[in-house]
Amino acid sequence: MSDIERPYGSADSDPALKRVRTRHFQRAKENGIKITGLTSYDFLSASIFDEAGIDFLLVGDSAGNTVFGFDTTIPVTVDRLIPLTAAVVRGARRALVIADMPFGSYENGPDEALATAIRFMKETGAQAVKLEGGVRSAPQIMRIVQAGIPVMGHIGFTPQSEHGLGGHIIQGRGEGAEQLLADAHAVEEAGAFAVVMEMVPSGIAGKVTAELSIPTISVGAGPECDGQLLVWSDWAGFNRGRIPRFVKQYADIGATLLDAAQQFQADVESGVYPAPEHEYGD
Ligand code: KIV
């Protein structure tokens, strides 16, 4: 989305006037303007992505993998995500910050879901929450939205259910297409302002995008969605392991840091660092 096309101001306008709002997502879909999102888990990355003009920052429970080093997102708790989300909010002047509700914080029903969403809104300053599940999570979405909190849905592959789904498996293929459509419509009818579709074939994702009036955000759901979201450590090459097929890697931060750390060690061992310009005089 170029600055001229941006319905919510450019990088130099008054920060108070230029925060991306959920209504801008709707306007972007109506005008065919693509929406961009990245995950972020800290102040510094949030500041950089915000400066770049990324429209929304998701403090994903993918922090379980990228920040905390778990194999899945399942162990992530609200208490662990709250300080990360607050840090991202402090770094984002323009981007809409979305707090991801972790496994175990909303499945017990609408009351639990609303209590969790309220915690994120009050304790972090996030402007919206996200939760996984279509038809099964519709009552939770409805309750949160009725309380005035914007909700982003998440359907297709939902990592919190990876054991139930039988692993990292593409969703919406064959007979799964009907379920995906039902999930998408349930999320829209419950009042979500946008819906993430993760690891879904492009064809069915395009059909969902055409049928829904709210924007669809792709995480491996192809080019016909209204926006694209990536986990930043995958996208920037910070993740040293395998990255999914749908990720385009835009940088190699991991290699840069490895090289820097090796040079630092060599310089310290050889006495090149610290040099006179790094010393304080008497
Ligand atoms: O936790 C996360 O980062 C996510 C996105 C991949 C959609 O849920």
198 assigned to active site: yes
Which ligand 1 atom is the nearest neighbour of the CA of 64?
1
Distance 272 CA to ligand 1 centre (A): 43
CB atoms within 10 A of CB 15: 11
Assess contact for 237 and 254: CB atoms under 8 A. yes
198, 211, 269, 279: which is the annotated catalytic residue? 198
Q: Identify any residues that bridge with 59 across adjacent strands, giving them in sequence order.
A: 99
In degrees and rounded to multiples of 5, residue 39 shows phi and psi of -75, 155
Q: Do 165 and 171 touch, CB atoms closer than 8 A? A: yes
Compute φ and ψ for 78, nearest 5 degrees. -60, -45
Residue 8 has pLDDT above 70, yes or no: no
Ligand 1 pocket, CB under 6 A: 39, 58, 60-62, 100, 154, 196, 198, 219, 229, 231
Which atom of ligand 1 approaches the CA of 63 most closely? 1
Q: Which residues pair with 156 in a beta bridge?
A: 198
Closest CA to 190 of 242, 119, 114, 250: 114
Question: Which atom of ligand 1 lies closest to the CA of 198?
Answer: 7
Model pLDDT for residues 59-101, shown as the tens digit of each residue: 999 999 999 999 999 999 999 999 999 999 999 999 999 999 9
CA of 57 to the centre of ligand 1 (A): 10
Determine the residue of 45, 54, 56, 58 to mutate for testing ligand 1's pocket, defined as the one with the most ligand atoms within 8 A of the Cβ atom.
Answer: 58
CA dist., res. 101 & res. 127, Å (int): 13
Q: For residues 83 and 88, what is the distance between their CA atoms, to the nearest angstrom?
A: 9
**What is the Å distance from ligand 1's center to 281 Cα?**
49
DSSP class of 170: -
CA–CA distance, 25 with 41 (Å, rounded to integer): 22
Instruction: Residue 39: name the closest of 29, 24, 54, 25 by CA.
Output: 54
Pocket perturbation via mutation, ligand 1, pick of 41, 56, 73, 105 by most ligand atoms within 8 A of CB: 73
Q: Per the structure block, which two tokens stand in for 167?
A: 């692993």
| β-bridge pairing 151-156 and 128-130 | parallel
For the chain, list the strands marked E by DSSP. 35-39, 56-59, 96-100, 128-130, 151-156, 194-198, 216-219, 227-230
Which pLDDT tens digit goes with each residue over 234-280?
A: 999 998 888 999 999 999 999 999 999 999 999 999 999 999 999 99
6 band by pLDDT with thresholds 50, 70 and 90: low
pLDDT at 241: 84
Whether the predicted pLDDT of 11 surpasses 70: no
pLDDT digits (tens, 9 = 90+) for 166-213: 999 999 999 999 999 999 999 999 999 999 999 999 999 999 999 999
Per residue in 102-156, pLDDT (tens digit) is 999 999 999 999 999 999 999 999 999 999 999 999 999 999 999 999 999 999 9
Q: Are 249 and 228 in contact (CB under 8 A)?
A: no
Question: Helix, strand, or coil here: 219?
Answer: strand
Q: What is the pTM of this model?
A: 0.94
Q: Has residue 15 got a pLDDT over 70?
A: no
Residue 14, burial from CB neighbour count under 10 angstroms (0-12, 13-18, 19+): exposed
> What is the Å distance from ligand 1's center to 60 Cα?
5
The 10 Å CB-count burial string (b at 16+, else e) for 106-125 is bbeebebbbebbebbbeebe
